[in-house]
Copies of this chain bind each other. A is one copy, B any other.
Amino acid sequence: MRTCYTGEVSPSHLDQTVTLFGWVHRRRDHGGVIFIDLRDRAGLAQIVVDPDNVAAFEIAEKLRNEFCVRVTGLVRRRPEGTTNSELASGEIEVLCREIEILNPSVTPPFQLDDDNLSETTRLTHRVLDLRRPQMQHNLMLRYRVSIEVRKYLDALGFIDIETPMLTKSTPEGARDYLVPSRVNAGQFFALPQSPQLFKQLLMVAGFDRYYQITKCFRDEDLRADRQPEFTQIDCETSFLNEEQIREIFEGMIRHVFSTVQKVELPAVFPIMAWDEAMRRYGSDKPDLRVTLEFTDVSDLMRDVDFKVFSGPANDAASRVVALRVPGGAAMPRSEIDAYTKFVGIYGAKGLAYIKVNDATSIPDGLQSPIVKNIHGQVLIQLIERTGAQSGDLIFFGADKTKVVNDAMGALRVKIGHSEFGKKAGLFVPGWKPLWVVDFPMFEYDQAEGRYFAAHHPFTSPKDGHEDYLETDPARALAKAYDMVLNGWEIGGGSVRIHRADVQNKVFRALNIDADEARNKFGFLLDALQYGAPPHGGVAFGLDRLVTMMAGAESIRDVIAFPKTQRAQCLLTQAPSAVDEKQLRELHIRLRTAE
Contact = CB atoms under 8 A, between A and B. Distances in A.
A578 B154 contact: no
A66 B527 CA distance: 12
A45 to B, nearest CB: 14
Contact of A229 (B159, B165, B171, B588): B165
A575 B171 contact: no
B589 A589 contact: yes
A179 B575 CA distance: 9
Interface in A20-52: 21, 23-24, 39-41
Interface stretch (A284-292, A394-402, A454-462, A564-572): A564-572
A586 B178 contact: yes
B186 A66 contact: no
14 contacts: A39-B206, A102-B533, A102-B534, A127-B201, A130-B207, A131-B206, A162-B231, A164-B574, A166-B177, A168-B574, A179-B179, A197-B572, A198-B561, A588-B590
B143 A575 contact: no
A526 B588 CA distance: 34
- 3 cross-chain pairs, A with B, having the tightest CB-CB distances, nearest first: A130-B205, A105-B531, A187-B575
A202 interface: yes
A85 interface: no
Interface string A118-145: 0000000011101100001001101100
Contacts of A205: 126-128, 130-131, 560
A369 B573 CA distance: 65
Contact of A177 (B128, B167, B179): B179
Nearest to A584: B591
A103 B586 contact: no
A219 to B, nearest CB: 6
Interface string A164-187: 111111010001111111111111
A161 interface: yes
Given A143-B161, A590-B186, A105 B175 contact: no
Interface of A: 1-2, 5, 21, 23-24, 39-41, 66-68, 70, 102-106, 108, 126-128, 130-131, 136, 139-140, 142-143, 146-147, 150, 154, 159-169, 171, 175-191, 197-198, 201-202, 204-208, 215, 217, 219, 228-229, 231, 238-240, 244, 498-499, 523, 526-534, 559-561, 563, 566-569, 571-579, 582, 584-592
Given A167-B574, A578-B178, A582-B171, A531 B66 contact: yes
B128 A202 contact: no
Contacts of A127: 201, 204-205, 523, 526-527, 530
Of residues A127, A238, A531, which shows the largest number of chain B Cβ atoms within 10 Å of its Cβ? Answer: A531
Contacts of A577: 186-188
A169 B231 CA distance: 22
A184 B590 contact: no
A23 B204 CA distance: 10
A430 to B, nearest CB: 28
A207 B523 contact: no
Contact of A530 (B128, B167, B569): B128
Contacts of A161: 139, 142-143, 560
Contacts of A185: 591-592
Contacts of A244: 1
Contact of A587 (B166, B528, B590): B590
Given A127-B201, A561-B198, A578 B169 contact: yes
Contact of A175 (B182, B206, B575): B182
A191 B178 contact: no
Contacts of A523: 127, 571-573
Contacts of A181: 567, 575
A107 B143 CA distance: 46
Of residues A70, A165, A189, A568, which shows the largest number of chain B Cβ atoms within 10 Å of its Cβ? Answer: A189
B182 A179 contact: no
A181 B177 CA distance: 8
Contacts of A175: 182, 582, 585
Given A23-B531, A574-B168, A159 B140 contact: yes
B169 A582 contact: yes
Given A175-B582, A183-B566, A201-B561, 18 more contacts: A68-B532, A103-B499, A105-B530, A162-B231, A166-B177, A167-B569, A168-B569, A177-B179, A181-B567, A182-B219, A184-B575, A185-B592, A186-B592, A188-B578, A190-B578, A587-B590, A588-B591, A589-B589
Contacts of A191: 165, 179
